[in-house]
Amino acid sequence: MSANPLQGAQFVLAAHRIHQLPADEGAEVAFAGRSNAGKSSALNALTGQKALARTSKTPGRTQQMVAFSLPVTVHDEMSQAAPVRLIDLPGYGYAKVPEALREHWRHEIDAYLHQRRSLRGVVLIADIRHPMKEFDRMMLEFCFGTLLPCHVLLTKADKLSRNQAQQALAAVRKQLDASTPVTAQIFSSSEGTGVEEARDAVMRMLHGEGRGDA
């Protein structure tokens, strides 16, 4: 097994608004998904840490954008080393969250996706048993429209047989336009299925140019 380039990720801060995030420089990949799709487990599996994402689940941080720094760097236009981050976006679909807070996060996530220049790509977390809900389709359409790379992790693959998981993956890929920068894979944090493939996808996005106009 190759060395994990995402190992060493560290909690930096939790932000309620995008202007509270770290300086908009370097490169970052955002993790998005419904609140029950297994996003925290995926982040922990990819970084090789058992409780990294749980840092954002302590009281007061539950519904915030959480920034994690990585020990790797990228090079900016001046060929200088620039910081690299993972951004954990608030899970979508909280049943008990007041409408005002849901609206706040709709606005902030939209602003983040449109305005953040260091954003290089999105990892979309979707439960393989119920993929492509409304939020997932909205996120994919945004990536299509802005040429922002997106990698879909169909999580909880251990809940299906291998054949069922492959069928679900084929069905999702059928919905994706081959001309768009979107890829998809099977993933299980509990069994380690697809973890290295997902890490490779994250690293490709971090070292890529990101948006089509970048």
Span 153-166, pLDDT tens digits: 999 999 999 999 99
Average pLDDT, the chain: 86
Report CA-CA distances (Å) from 152 to 62, 66, 80, 85, 92.
23, 20, 31, 19, 16
pLDDT of 59 > 50? The answer is no
Closest residue by Cα to residue 119 from 28, 32, 15, 31? 28
Question: Among 44-58, 77-91, 146-160, where is mean pLDDT lowest?
Answer: 44-58
Instruction: Answer whether residue 60 shows pLDDT above 60.
Output: no
Rg for the chain, CA atoms, rounded: 16
Domain count for the chain: 1
pTM recorded for the entire structure: 0.90
Residue 180 domain-assigned (yes or no): yes
Residue 213 lies inside a defined structural domain of this protein: no
- Tokens representing 67 are 């920034």
CATH number of 159's domain: 3.40.50.300
212 inside domain: no
| pLDDT of the residue at 102 | 76
Instruction: Let me know if residue 68 belongs to a domain.
Output: yes
pLDDT of the residue at 80: 74
Whether 3 is covered by a domain: the verdict is no
**In which band, very low, low, confident or very high, does the pLDDT at 209 lie, cut at 50, 70 and 90?**
low
In a domain, 26, yes or no: yes
Q: Which domain holds residue 31?
A: 10-207
pLDDT at 61 exceeding the cut of 60: no
Residue 198 inside a domain? The answer is yes
104 located within any domain: yes
